[in-house]
Amino acid sequence: MASDFFRRQEAARRSTRWLLVLFLLAVLAIVSIVNLLLLWGFHGGAWTTLWAGDRPMVERLSQVWSLAGGTIGWASAILLGTIGFFSLAMTLKLRRGGAVVARELDARPVPPATEDAQERLLRNVVEEMALASGLPVPGVYVMDREPGINAFAAGFGPEDAVVAVTRGALEKLDRDELQAVVAHEFSHIFNGDTRLNMHLLGVLHGLEAFAVLGRVLMRRSVWAAPSRRNPAPAGEGNPADGAAVSFLLGAFVFLFGQLGAFFGALIKAAICRQRERLADASAVQYTRQPEGLAGALSKIAVGRELGSALVAGRRQEVSHMLFAHGLGFGGPWLHWLATHPPVEERLRALDPRWSRASLESIRRQLERRRVARREAERRQQSQRRETERTPGSPFNALPLAADAGLPGVALWGALAASGELEERRLAQARALLESLPAHARSAAQDPQRAPALALALLLSDQAEVRQKQQALVGETLGDEVLNALQTIQAERDAAPWSPGHRLPLLELALPALNHQPETFLQRWLLALSRVIGADGRVAFHEYALGRMARVQVQRAVRPREHRAGRLALHQVMSATGRLFAGFTWAGHPGNPEGARAAYQAAMTRMLIPAPPEWEAPEDWVSGMDEALRQLDGLRGEMKQTLLEGLAQAAIHAGRVTVDEAELVRAIALLLGVPVPLLLPFDSEAAGDRTNGPGGADENPVPDLG
């Protein structure tokens, strides 16, 4: 349910606030412990005074300060400065998004057009899940040097999120198991856990800074020590003494740093463990296949020599982000310091009958079934290509269900499923990907052609306007992009794609497009604006696709955390009126009475007793842009109410066009609400309906009755 999505997001935000409280308490504890040790070691008189019980505590503290105030002040300042500096530095570094974490762990981005079979499977699973859930397709990474089974998701929001898996996971997991692991990570994105984890990584880095400094000092002292290959220069004394002092200093700082690491581990365990249980439950809910998640966890439990352990040097810092213990079975030495429930506990939650005695038989079964399962998957994939293109497919059935009113029901269902993933939507997304024209999908996954494909989605059907648009692209981006655009258009003319393919192709193209340099992306955004405005008017689908592309590219270039709103609808009623006036006017061009009726139906749906009067907007595009900027400050449940009103306005005329569905989803994205993809890709039987100023949709969803 959508309400569950907003509730989980709010729970993650509360955890973030608790993180700051726990961090401050940990800093206070560290400063206090260090000062007590300094008093004990260097100020015996102050130490004795502190514990003398014959005077009030305030008087004793005052005397301790008079005896050792300088030491306490300098030590506290150094500690607070160091912790604050390292926390701030890491927090600023992480502002560039989830890709920073992936690079820190030596993860490699998977090219959209990869030819590696395992990586192709991973991309397919991630793309299916993104399309089914309504999230932008996240960056996909592989940790090639990691033989264990593990994964993580990182990022402040869906726009800068990445999903990374180890090479061991790709090699050891079958499709169902890999899908369960990816679903677990997607649930972290849905629930706001990735944002929380980024804050944890940044803030707690300050607590672990001394351990890092100590480790660096010890390594440098070892490298600097004289050896047969690196003899000491003559006449410069004995450098071994300096190396020994440096090593001992590093060891002391490292051991002292374990105090901060201990408090950091406590905070991670307090915040993360329950979120991991929720992610497991969500993964099973999404896939409806507990066997997939159980299989992945069983393989971790069977492979004790590797299990889920990482070999990356920064595994301790990111342990709270991982699918399973990144330190392996010999990780946190106390259960109450662990960021994850034990694997055995997670398996019993999936199957109460599970026992450790079954691991050996599971290992043998997995080994015997591995080859057979992969062969079966290849056969099923071949069969799926045929069955999912037939009218019996759930996705293709939508245009044929006019009398049953399925599209209307499905539209409400998509809104109700905001922030959720359902098994049937995964099947629909898989069918949709299979239906995409091969040339278009190939271009969407090619970083060199993706910029041209994204612009091709907005080319006019009128030859004169299209020629002007292509000329503008050539002026802005050069001949290389223009040639690619013309080639894609020629392929489209030979094998046309449906309007229902536009949004999926754009979502597939954006990750490849975002691989381009920032300077190119700025010029591409200019080209986007010029293509949309080439004919002097903006159609519904142009506004929807253009806004989605612009927002996702801008957020990928400069990731930002999506702040939670606090406003109610009655506080932004003027902006609400402008948004719905623009939406209904664009959906009923030249029909003010129809637009007014749809507007009133939407306001009634949202239970607004005295809504603003409907007025035909002079510039519906600018009005909606300004309204959306203000409405982004709404509370989560208010945003859901707003989207329900838009759906009511779209359905009021009796049928929903592809363009209207695109725009509802685009507005949801701008408001930070993931709405599952629901666009038919073959609706010729439904007839035509003009859908925007100067635009017509050739494939509307059938009459909803």
Q: Which residues are catalytic?
A: 185
- The percent helix, strand, coil of the chain (3-state, each to 5) is 65, 5, 30
Q: Is 404 helix (H, G, I), strand (E, B) or coil?
A: coil
The two tokens of residue 572 are: 């932004």
DSSP 635: -
Strand partners, 26: none
Distance (Å, whole) CA 638 – CA 630 = 13
Taking the CA of residue 567 as centre, how many other CA atoms within 13 Å lie in the half-sphere pointing to its CB?
Answer: 17
Distance (Å, whole) CA 152 – CA 245 = 40
CA distances from 25 to 202, 208, 465 (A): 16, 15, 64
Residue owning tokens 């800074």: 209
Identify whether the C-beta of residue 678 lies closer than 8 Å to the C-beta of residue 656. no
Residues in CB range of 159: below 8 A, 6 or more apart: 136, 551, 552, 555, 556, 559
The two tokens of residue 599 are: 């507007």
Helical residues (DSSP H) of 354-478, grouped into ranges: 358-387, 406-416, 423-435, 438-444, 450-456, 463-477
- Angle at 16 (CA atoms; ends 15, 18), nearest 5 degrees: 60
Distance (Å, whole) CA 520 – CA 513 = 10
Q: Is 692 helix (H, G, I), strand (E, B) or coil?
A: strand
Burial bucket for residue 56 (CB in 10 Å: 0-12, 13-18, 19+): exposed
Distance (Å, whole) CA 37 – CA 182 = 47
**DSSP letters of 249-261?**
HHHHHHHHHHHHH
Distance (Å, whole) CA 220 – CA 216 = 6
